[in-house]
A = this chain, B = another copy of it.
Amino acid sequence: MIFYDCPTAPSPRRARMFVVEKGLEIDTRQISIADGEQLSPDFLAVNPRATVPVLITDEGTALTENLAIATYLEARYPEPPLMGRNADEKGRVAMWNAICEGQGGMAVAETFRNSHPAMKGRALPGPLDLDQIPELAARGQKRVAAFFDLLEERLGDSEWLAGDAFSLADITGFVFVDFARVIRTRIPEGNAATQAWFDRIASRPSATAC
């Protein structure tokens, strides 16, 4: 296997944390987004959509989406289980992972990419150069606030997002909560359950792996 990583971006960090939590060591190539290496001909031959992470599987498939990489590794290396130990838990992991992606990560990313000067003309990842839309940044801020409310409500009832076991959903939620610093947003003061959950994950070796 070959893992294409980037130390500065949230999407490859999700895959990297998953790999470390599985206890795997995979041949890793660094792609510097700061230097535009994701748009180089060499990397576009690996992934024409110009995004990291990418995992080249043992079978030679280039998997270009976080959930695809996790799904492959979970099937190949079932221990420790990170995507649920039974049908109901598998469903809950998939649900909270999708919520963290769609309502957390998307909201932070759309705020960041549509407001930060460094993202001018790069409002979406990938090969299309798209203009920033300031109203989308403003809307994203509202959605981030709603996401923090949702996390606090869930984590007030449940140790981990999907139930009583750490999972992929916690990795996704943690990475996007941490990434919210780029839009100067932190866990709201008083959201004690979210802060305790975040701190528990931050102390795991996977959280600082690079």
Given contacts A75-B86, A128-B146, contact A61 B91 (CB under 8 A): yes
Question: How many positions in chain A have a CB within 8 Å of any CB in the partner chain?
Answer: 45
Q: Which of B87, B124, B131, B142 contacts A72 (CB 8 A)?
A: B87
* Main SS at interface, chain A: helix
Is A90 on the interface with B (CB-CB < 8 A)? yes
Q: Is the CB of A94 within 8 A of B65?
A: yes
State the oligomeric state as a number of copies. Answer: 2
Cβ-based interface call for A69 (8 A): yes
Does the CB pair A57–B95 fall under 8 Å?
no
Closest to A153 in B: B48
Which residues from chain B contact A67 at a C-beta distance below 8 Å?
Answer: 67, 94-95, 97-98
Please tell me if A99 contacts chain B, counting CB pairs below 8 Å: yes
Interface residues of A (CB under 8 A from B): 49, 55, 57-59, 61, 63-72, 75-76, 84, 86-88, 90-95, 97-99, 102, 123-124, 128, 130-131, 133, 135-136, 139, 142-143, 146, 150
